[in-house]
Amino acid sequence: MTAPFPNLPPTPDTAIVWQSDSLYLLDQRDLPSVAKYLQLRSAAATANAIRDMVVRGAPAIGVTAAYGVVLAAREAFAENPTGWKQGIAARISRLRMSRPTASNLFWALGRMQQLIEQLSAERDPEAELLAEAVKIHERDVADNMRMGEMGAELIDGPTRVITHCNAGALATGGYGTALGVIRSAFARGSIHQVYADETRPWLQGSRLTAWELLQDGIPVTLLADGAAASLMSRGDIGWIIVGSDRIAANGDVANKIGTYGLAVAAKHHGVRVMVVAPTSTVDMQMASGQEIPIEVRGDDEVLGCGGKQIGADGAEVWNPVFDVTPAELVDVIVTEKGIVHSPTRKKLEKLITN
Ligand code: MRU
């Protein structure tokens, strides 16, 4: 009998929990007003949860998909204990199609797939696949802590920063990428004010980033996305600090829609741009950002807000949920393997092969 809830209080650092043979996800669609877990027992339910934004943020999607493969293995083995590899393949394909942009999804599934290839087709694979998923999860947290310290080293504060979307514990295995740097720098006293774009249409900034930072006692000031350039023009913003969904080989960065506009405004105002992402976000198969698949989501997300329609009936909608910031607008990419200043293909190749 599985527990209806994980035996944990819902916090940003416990947004993805494997407990009592189930995957539990803190439902990010309802945060911060409702903090409740969804229990997942199948790969299809996991794929749907990723698609529907129960869990979001590139590294968190990767970690979740890895646990989804464990559920896929259990289902496939129950169906056919001597031929589970066929049954798992279709389920992994479904996980792969859940969202198109986050590199970490494909990276995590690739790692699970590599292990599957080494396993016997006639033995229950669940325990070994679970151990690998836990490794992916734990590695992500450790990488984030490392990047947090490395990124914080770059900030000669005290200064103010702007972040976009949510690249925190909720978007990762824990601690966060951009918010990891902000956490570490705040602890050192080099950041004393954090501005968070509200991040339409899903409001990851006002709902999730603000919730996370306030729980850590880090004061946060929310602003409408359109206010960021004006804020930069006042001259007291040191850095834009963001995460990424996929970084191309030439250093172009795909991230939440609005990041490109922030980077253009930052260049104009002499504000530096820091992208914080593990190397599982770097996709050396994509020569440039133009090749990165950009997810376009439903019209309802732009027409509505908080479950209520606010846009004019009959208006057409364009809703790409990521954009690409060209490498020349990025001052620094912080990864767990090291820091790349003014990214280029050559520098990223050197970092990845190290
Ligand atoms: O649509 P989302 O909420 O999944 O988009 C998330 C982002 O764009 C994040 O900035 C990115 O995934 C990095 S999270 C560490």
Q: SS3 letters for 186-245?
A: HHHCCEEEEEEECCCCCCHHHHHHHHHHHHCCCCEEEECHHHHHHHHHCCCEEEEEECCC
Residue nearest ligand 1's atom 15 by CA: 167
Q: What is the DSSP string of 251-316?
A: S-EEEETTHHHHHHHHHHHT-EEEEE--GGGEETT-SSGGGSPPPB--THHHHEETTEE-SPTT--
Asked if 138 and 166 touch (Cβ cutoff 8 Å), the reply is: no
Asked if 138 and 63 touch (Cβ cutoff 8 Å), the reply is: no
Q: What is the pLDDT of residues 246-290, one digit of tens each?
A: 999 999 999 999 999 999 999 999 999 999 999 999 999 999 999
The domain segmentation of the chain, as residue ranges, is 2-142, 148-353
**Residue numbers of the chain with a pLDDT score lower than 50:** 1-3
What is the atom index within ligand 1 of the atom nearest the CA of 168?
A: 15
Q: Determine whether the shortest distance from the Cβ of 335 to ligand 1 is under 6 A.
A: no
Asked if 274 and 332 touch (Cβ cutoff 8 Å), the reply is: yes
Could you tell me which of 21, 37, 30, 35 has the C-alpha nearest to residue 73? 21
**pLDDT of 20:** 85
Torsion angle in degrees (nearest 10) through CA of 105, 109, 110, 114:
160
Q: What is the DSSP string of 52-80?
A: TTSS-SHHHHHHHHHHHHHHHHHHHHHH-
| 2-142: in CATH 1.20.120.420 | yes
Asked if 309 and 280 touch (Cβ cutoff 8 Å), the reply is: no
- Distance from Cα 242 to the centre of ligand 1, integer Å: 9
- Distance from Cα 246 to the centre of ligand 1, integer Å: 10
- Distance from Cα 295 to the centre of ligand 1, integer Å: 12
Quick check: is 245 catalytic? yes
Q: SS3 letters for 26-51?
A: ECCCCCCCCCCEEEECCHHHHHHHHH
Q: Determine whether the shortest distance from the Cβ of 173 to ligand 1 is under 6 A.
A: no
What is the atom index within ligand 1 of the atom nearest the CA of 276?
A: 15
**pLDDT of 3:** 47
Could you tell me which of 171, 169, 191, 170 has the C-alpha nearest to residue 182? 191
**pLDDT of 5:** 65
Which homologous superfamily is 148-353 in? Translation initiation factor eif-2b; domain 2 (3.40.50.10470)
Mutate to test the pocket of ligand 1, among 50, 183, 255, 322 (most ligand atoms within 8 A of CB): 255
The reply to whether the predicted model has a pTM over 0.75 is yes
- Distance from Cα 119 to the centre of ligand 1, integer Å: 33
Instruction: Count the Cβ atoms, other than its own, within 10 Å of residue 128.
Output: 17
Q: Determine whether the shortest distance from the Cβ of 171 to ligand 1 is under 6 A.
A: yes
Q: What is the pLDDT of residues 81-92, one digit of tens each?
A: 999 999 999 999
Give the sheet arrangement for strand 237-242, strand by strand. Answer: 220-223, 191-197, 159-163, 237-242, 272-276, 332-335, 338-341
Residue 270 neighbours by CB under 8 Å, 6+ apart: none
Q: Determine whether the shortest distance from the Cβ of 54 to ligand 1 is under 6 A.
A: no
Catalytic annotation, pick one of 245, 283, 323, 331: 245
Mutate to test the pocket of ligand 1, among 56, 209, 283 (most ligand atoms within 8 A of CB): 56
Q: Determine whether the shortest distance from the Cβ of 208 to ligand 1 is under 6 A.
A: no
